[in-house]
Structure 1
Amino acid sequence: MTAPSDAPGTAGDASEVEPAQGSGDTASRSLRQIAWQRFRRDKVAMVGGVVVLLLIAVAIFAPLLVKLFGYPPNEFNQAPIDPLTGGVLKDPDDPMSGIDPWGGMSWNHLLGLEPVNGRDLFSRVVYGAQISLLVAFGATVLCVAIGTVLGILAGYFGGWVDTVISRAMDIFLAFPLLLFAIALAGVIPDGAFGLTGNGLRIALLIFIIGFFNWPYIGRIVRGQTLTFKEREFVEAARSLGASNRHILFREILPNLITPILVYSTLLIPTNILFEAALSFLGVGINPPTPTWGGMISNSLQYYTTSPHFVIIPGMAIFITVLAFNLLGDGLRDAFDPRSSD
């Protein structure tokens, strides 16, 4: 039985046609397109995204940037250094010119020089970005991989699987990660697992940060999986005879991409701060390889005479962490289904 042509909501009612046409534009867009439009309207998040892309470009092209605008990061330059105080002289040719509070910033040294040894700060900050982002991204990938797999298994199968994984999460969350990292970094020899020097240190930091932080994202994935496994599309796949593997990785996992992506952007700045803290405590990357945390640790005794030595690496960490946090907040709002379009 068909509805009469003049019934409300049909083509015969002109007053109902306009809202249907207007809503059709929104309905025709995919969730990705809607999220992108929301994200573009968030100017703060866009700025954070641009800064993140610039930081990644700086880390990738660090050798080229240093070749064009700086000096080798471990090259000593004693000429402009005051032999008594270790500060950077205002005039390298006049030992009595006094200490330059700006650290000798010039066209040759864009961010000035380090006290005592005269190494170029611009080069060391740029190369420090490589270490910080490499450790942060590597640890985040490891953390997301472990947390996603264990979280989806716990949420989908439940029972004893959920109990074992959930109790493991509780144990890892109660683990004193910083103390363990300090102890482990102190006892690892210079060579192990086929790696030596800073290559071993970087791998060790990625393992410690990523392996012991997976419960945070594991809990998020577990909670989302508990919701998705009761949805109609999962029931439909199960009724058609789909295997558990198919349901997990072809039905549920694609719907977890959004929360995983958002949480990853918020996890990266945490990993950057953790790497900086370990380098600050002297158990991170071995010197003279530059790291932002190590630079801050070496600068504390010169903060009265050379404040730029403290401020510049500190601002590098601040800007990086802030940019990733702004990007993560923007992505979270953009993918939130409760957000207004």
Structure 2
Amino acid sequence: MGKPFVYVTRKVPEHCLGELREFAEVEMWHEEEIPVDRETLLAKAKDATGLITMLSDKVNAELMDAAPNLKVIANLAVGFDNIDVEGATARGIVVSNTPNVLTDTTADLTFSLLMATARRIPEAVNYVREGQWKNWGPLLMAGTDIHHKTIGIVGMGRIGATVAKRATGFDMEILYHNRSRKPEAEAELGATYVSFDELIEKSDYVVCLAPLTPETKELFDLAAFRKMKDSAIFINASRGAVVKEDDLQQALDEKEIAAAGLDVFLNEPIGADHPLLKYDNVVALPHIGSASVETREEMTRLVGRHCANVIVGRKPEYIVNESVWKG
């Protein structure tokens, strides 16, 4: 009898799947940036015991029904809104993700995005490259201070708390809003729990790190932006759908807020003609929150280990649908 088959839906570092290869035959889609086409994925899933998936892969009933031997879906991400978890649970399929390993890296990127937007870094780089720097002026490319300002974090999970930790180094006042209070963040970081409305009204930097849920979908609409200070900077490193993008454009046009830093968008990838790219005060990134070599390699090792563990009957480190394993 041959080894179980695991299909990887995107090209990832081969050397990070050594442990999995001891227990499974592994095949990988050949492109790093181009997703596997649906026809190929459905065909490969037919024989798969495990799938290593990306946020861009739609793992729905159609795919699971095409995979009668499927035991584990290991998502190379913290989020898993691309997966029908309820459907997987009903079929007895383990769904895993990769929290913790990318916490610091994503917090680094989030705070970097805040700093780049506040201090107009991309705009200043282009200013020099385009030959516009002819002289010096007191307000040349003047941005706004970060130190001693108020940061409001919507979504105080692991990443949110780690962003707050970075904010302490800038002597910032830290406000947060979350589904539940976080006494440890209040004690360790001096963070203050406030309502959503109070947070957006008082913060100089509104940072969204909330998961996408029915409650957070389009949470940031025109009404929310109008409650912010006109000097406020909005940062989104969570999911694009938490923002009503047309409303964000209107808020920028009407100067309801000062700027926005975005690592995520409603429909990804975006093209060069995306409406939000016309604004000099919008810093747009290609969803690179956890994109460091070290972190992506560790995420790959982790999803490989999850698949290997399920194959040999060991509990994976992170299970989204815990009831499947208990059952």
Give the structure-2-normalised TM-score. 0.25
If you compute each CA radius of gyration, which structure gives the higher value, 1 or 2?
1
Structure with greater helix percent: 1
Give the structure-1-normalised TM-score. 0.24
Higher relative contact order (CA 8 A, sep 6+): 1
